[in-house]
Amino acid sequence: MSLRLPKTAPILYFVGCTSAYRRTEIAQATLKILRKAKVNFTMLNDEVCCGSVFFRAGITDFAKELASSNLESIKKTDADTVVTSCAGCYRMLKLDYPKLLSPTDFKVLHTVELLSSLIESGALKFKNGSKIKASYHDPCHLGRHCGIYEEPRKILEKIPNLELVEMEWIKDKSFCCGAGAGLKALAEDLATSVARKRLDDAIGRGAEVIVSACPFCKHNLLDSARKYNLKIEIKDIAEIVAERIG
C-alpha cells in the first residue's frame, strides 16, 4: 500500500500479517473507511507480526521479541489509540503485550469498536444497497476472549436492506472457525471441516453471506466454502461497511 501518511498521528492502524499479505481486501476496505470518515491516522513502516500465533503455540520468547519491536515503533508515532482489523492482534495488543512486557500507554480498539463510534457520530453514513441476509460469526479472540459481541451486530443492523439472521451457536457459545492456535497450519483438513459447521449453520438460516471481524476467520471460511463447494459469500465487516458507504 503506497500511502502518504504522517509520521505521527493520534490513531495508528495496525494492519496485521493476514490482512497485509493474504486478505489484503480487509486492509483496503479499512483504509477506505478511515479516509471517508476523515480520521487522522498513520501506519507503521516497520510493522512486524504481533506474535499472537507464536504466543499461543508456546514460543513465548520470540513473541516477546516481536512485541518489543512493535511497541518501540508504536511509541514513535505518538498515537494514543491503536486500531486493528484482526481479532488475534487485538487480543495480543490489548491483553498480552502488557503481560509480556509492561503496561502500555495507548488504547487498543478493534475496527468494530471504531466503526460503531464513527456511525454513531455521523462520520459514516450508509447508502441503500441490495437486499441481503447475513449471519455474523463471532471470532474467538474478539468474542469469548475480549467480550466484543454487540458492536458488530449493531453495525450490521444499521445497514439499510441488510437483514441479520443469527446462527444457532453465537456469542459466548459460538463455534471456532477452525483457524486459530496454529490448527490451520498443523491440520488443514480439520480446520476446514470445523469451518464447514459454521457455514452450514449460516446457510441453514437462509444467510447469503457470513460476516466476521477477523482475517483468520475469513481466510479459513473461504477455504472451506471452496473445498465443499458451498454457495455463500464470506466477508469481513469492514468490507460490508466500505461497500455500503459508497
**How many domains, the chain?**
2
Q: For position 74, what pLDDT does the model report?
A: 98
Q: Which of 93, 116, 139 is the last residue of a domain?
A: 116
Same domain for 33 and 97, yes or no, is: yes
Is the pLDDT score of 2 beyond 80? no
Same domain for 99 and 197, yes or no, is: no
CATH number for 77: 3.40.50.1860
Least confident of 37-46, 52-61, 113-122: 52-61
Confidence of residue 57 (pLDDT cuts 50, 70, 90): confident
Is 2 contained in some domain?
Answer: no
What is the mean pLDDT of the segment spanning 37-60?
Answer: 95
Select from 29, 12, 89 the least CA-distant residue to 245: 29
- pLDDT tens per residue, range 165-175: 999 999 999 99
Q: Which of 94, 116, 138 is the last residue of a domain?
A: 116
Is 20 contained in some domain?
Answer: yes
Is 195 contained in some domain?
Answer: yes
Same domain for 131 and 231, yes or no, is: yes
- pLDDT tens per residue, range 121-144: 999 999 999 999 999 999 999 999
Same domain for 64 and 139, yes or no, is: no
Q: For position 1, what pLDDT does the model report?
A: 47
What is the mean pLDDT of the segment spanning 110-115?
Answer: 98
Residue 165 is part of which domain span? 125-244
Q: For position 26, what pLDDT does the model report?
A: 98
Q: For position 36, what pLDDT does the model report?
A: 96
Is 146 contained in some domain?
Answer: yes
* pTM: predicted TM-score of the whole model, two decimal places: 0.94
Non-local CB neighbours of 60 within 8 Å, separated by 6+ positions: 54, 100
What is the mean pLDDT of the segment spanning 76-81?
Answer: 98
Is 154 contained in some domain?
Answer: yes
- pLDDT tens per residue, range 87-100: 999 999 999 999 99
Q: For position 185, what pLDDT does the model report?
A: 75
The helix or strand, by DSSP H or E, that contains position 92, with its residue range, turns out to be none
Q: State the cell numbers at 29.
A: 476496505
Cα(10)–Cα(42) distance, integer angstroms: 8
Q: Which of 60, 95, 116 is the last residue of a domain?
A: 116
Same domain for 154 and 198, yes or no, is: yes
